[in-house]
Amino acid sequence: MSFASFYQQSVDDPNTFWANEARRVDWHTPFSKTLDYSRPPFARWFVGGETNLCHNAIDRHLAQRGDQAALIAVSTETNTEKTYSFRELHREVNAMAATMQALGVQRGDRVLIYMPMIAEAVFAMLACARIGAVHSVVFGGFASNSLATRIDDAQPTLIVSADAGSRGGRVVPYKGLLDEAIRLAQHKPAHVLLVDRGLAEMARTDGRDIDYAAARAQHLDAQVPVVWLESNEPSYILYTSGTTGKPKGVQRDVGGYAVALTASMQHVFCGNPGETYFCTSDIGWVVGHSYIVYGPLMAGMATILYEGLPVLPGETPDAGIWWSLVDKYKVTRMFSSPTAIRVLKKHPPEFMSKYDLSSLKSLYLAGEPLDETTSNWISTSLGVPVIDNYWQTESGWPILSIAKGVDDKPTRLGSPGVPLYGYKMHIMNESTGELCGPNEKGVVVIEGPLPPGCMQTVYRDDARFVNTYWSNFPKQVYSTFDWGIRDEDGYYFILGRTDDVINVAGHRLGTREIEESISSHANVSEVAVVGVEDKLKGQVAIAFVIPKKADGVATPEGRQALEAEIMRVVDKQIGAVGRPSRVYFVSLLPKTRSGKLLRRSIQAICEGRDPGDLTTIEDPSSLQQIKAALQS
């Protein structure tokens, strides 16, 4: 079938379309109604159906593929590597589930998971799913304040954590941060379950803190029955990356998510049972939830959980670790982010070519705009197609992409693709709310109902869900808060976030457009553009550039010359309105832990304001660099 007719069916008759897709999932009780949209914008999918994410990820595979690899946990931090078959994974998840139950966790209770990228984190997520507890995974490495806010929001009965994580060989103790977070939080969990990796000392609170090794030993042969959940019961809470402000607690359902993920594994990711999937994200992000843990396992694939840096530090840094895993585990589909690929790109190509990558069929990239240079470089180096996909924590699975599992529609450079089945999308004029025509810029919006898998609501805050996402236009539509255009052929292009727009003397420009233009200069590795207040023009663009060759900007003359060249590039490509009034050079840009540019913080510093909520920043020293550059 052509993608066009597949898509058309999904939006013309969502009931038939999704009822059909729902057959990919095991239902304990069949649903009585495919969609209930009687209370827009709240969509209820597969009403009355009972299922369970853990059952679909593990139990259903036991008969046919119990001995096949399910979870491959690799750590270059502790130099460990362990493969769990579906049967072994089942055993571990049962032990964890029994432990949770013994600690009083019941259906509907929240369990906060604050863990490094170790197998026990996955066991904990799946154990929650098994017993109907709602997990809230908080990215390991968030400090006490961020953690405390999330503890108060989720009010967990139990927190699962570990002594420490590790980053580039440096131990990052977790327990102290956790204790401090619990002290700061109003809500106190009844118990804290601790995995002791032997990396760092931990203080323990008697009666509250439980050692997992001891608990596991007690429950190793436990058989914990799956708790069948109505499709619309919550499965988890997950916070958005916090790029544009205060993170939002996204609440996800059970049945819709199971259907959406299994469908995407087929239509978008083309994964087959028995193959190995490798997603380089972190379980603390939505990509990790959907495509490290639930998606591949539900599809009967083995999934790689990788703890470590993409480039191993040392005298000669090793940028080949991921490709060695592709080789060793015969990975067929891989998922990563443009940021990660840009890091690899700084290293010589031999680090890839020495491995046998013939098993790999495609590479999926998501999370931020994929520039053409990076896309071409990685596609040529690997010899496989690169498939961009655009989505959000809110959606849970891709919104725009090319569904290679449906037909062979070509990708288009610079575009993440076309609306995927189920998403009724438009480009909407920001001020009038009218629909934009081809190549007209506007806000990317989705008409309700959102398809299965998308957020149900903001956790415990229905009003915030409606007010934040659905109240920006005269017509009730879901705003993605991203700018975009659609070309004549229906391909979408994402032009940046709606907050990242600058107004130069009445011209509205996406900072992303200017960044793209600057990126095309041969000596530009990365760039961030922000709009800064200007008495004369309203706003002006200021650019912060990481040069490829630092020696070029070692002297004031060198900096001036490169600045002038960059300005000329923008003049030529966008016009003088887009020309940054200044170009500064730095070696690091402020990003969130998930690799997104924190333009709002850069802007605040440029305007002499407080950089705002920095809970999700990767490396605070990047802000010092911005300050120093401004003073240079």
Q: For residues 184, 185, 191 and 195, what is the CA-based torsion angle, rounded to 10 degrees?
A: -60
Whole-number minimum distance, CB 555 to ligand ATP, in Å? Answer: 36
Q: How far apart are the first and last CA of the chain?
A: 60
Residue whose CB is less far from ligand ATP, 174 or 391: 391
With H, G, I as helix, E, B as strand and everything else as coil, classify residue 628: helix
Cβ at position 481, least distance to Mg ion in Å: 6
- Using CA atoms, how far apart are residues 295 and 260, in angstroms rounded to an integer? 9
Q: Which listed residue (140, 242, 255, 611) binds ligand ATP by CB under 6 A?
A: 242
Contact letters for ligand ATP, residues 557-596 (x by CB under 6 A): -------------------------------------x-x
Helical H segments across 132-241, by residue range: 144-154, 175-184, 212-219
Q: Which stretch binds Mg ion (CB under 5 A): 87-95, 152-160, 206-214, 237-245?
A: 237-245
Instruction: Tell whether residue 91 is a contact of ligand ATP (CB under 6 A).
Output: no
For position 497 contacting ligand ATP by CB under 6 A, the verdict is yes
Q: Candidates 53-61, 159-167, 234-242, 574-582: pick the segment binding Mg ion (CB under 5 A).
A: 234-242
Interface with ligand ATP, residue 136, by CB under 6 A: no
Q: 157, 123, 126, 121: which is closest to 138 by C-alpha?
A: 121
Among 120, 179, 253, 368, binds ligand ATP (CB under 6 A): 368
Q: Out of ligand ATP, Mg ion, none, which partner does residue 51 contact, by CB within 5 to 8 A per kind?
A: none
CA nearest neighbour of 170 among 194, 201, 145, 199: 199
- The encoded tokens of residue 158 equal 């139990």
Q: Which lies closer to Mg ion via its Cβ, residue 56 or residue 240? A: 240
Report in angstroms how near the CB of residue 132 gets to Mg ion at its nearest.
28
Could you tell me which stretch among 257-265, 387-395, 541-549, 604-612 binds ligand ATP (CB under 6 A)? Answer: 387-395
SS3 185: coil
| Closer residue to ligand ATP, CB minimum distance, 18 or 236 | 236
Count of helices and strands (H, E) across the chain: 21, 32
Q: Which amino acid is at 423?
A: Y
> Which among 35-43, 300-308, 367-375, 574-582 is the span making contact with ligand ATP, rule CB under 6 A?
367-375
Q: Which of 521, 596 has the CB closer to Mg ion?
A: 596
Mutual angle of helices 556-573 and 511-519, in 10-degree steps: 120
Q: How many residues bind Mg ion (CB under 5 A)?
A: 1
Comparison of 194 and 287: residue with beta carbon closer to ligand ATP: 287
Q: Is residue 531 involved in binding ligand ATP (CB under 6 A)?
A: no
- Residue 439 one-letter amino acid: N
241: helix, strand or coil: coil
* 376's tokens: 């071409």
- Contact string (CB under 6 A) for ligand ATP, positions 92-111, x = contact: --------------------
Stretch that binds ligand ATP, among 41-49, 65-73, 136-144, 241-249 (CB under 6 A): 241-249
Closest CA to 425 of 493, 379, 330, 367: 493
CB–CB of 557/506 below 8 Å?
Answer: no
Q: Which two tokens stand for residue 267?
A: 């239509």
Give 605's contacts (C-beta < 8 A, 6+ positions apart).
611, 623, 626, 627, 630
User: In this structure, are strands 236-239 and 442-447 parallel, antiparallel, or unpaired?
Assistant: unpaired
390 forms part of the interface with ligand ATP (CB under 6 A): yes
Angle of CA points 469, 268, 340, to nearest 5° = 75
Any contact of residue 415 with ligand ATP (CB under 6 A)? no
What span, in angstroms and rounded, lies between the C-alpha atoms of 1 and 528? 42
Q: CB of 156 within 8 A of CB of 107?
A: no
> Contact with ligand ATP (CB under 6 A): which of 101, 232, 411, 480?
480
Query: Of 56, 241, 332, 374, which lies in the binding site for ligand ATP, with binding defined by CB under 6 A?
Result: 241
Q: Is residue 59 part of the contact set for ligand ATP (CB under 6 A)?
A: no
Which of Mg ion, ligand ATP, none interacts with 77 (beta carbon under 5 to 8 A by kind)? none
Smallest distance from the beta carbon of 287 to Mg ion, in angstroms? 13
Site residues (vs Mg ion, CB under 5 A): 240
Site residues (vs ligand ATP, CB under 6 A): 240-245, 247, 366-370, 388-393, 416, 480, 482, 494, 497, 594, 596
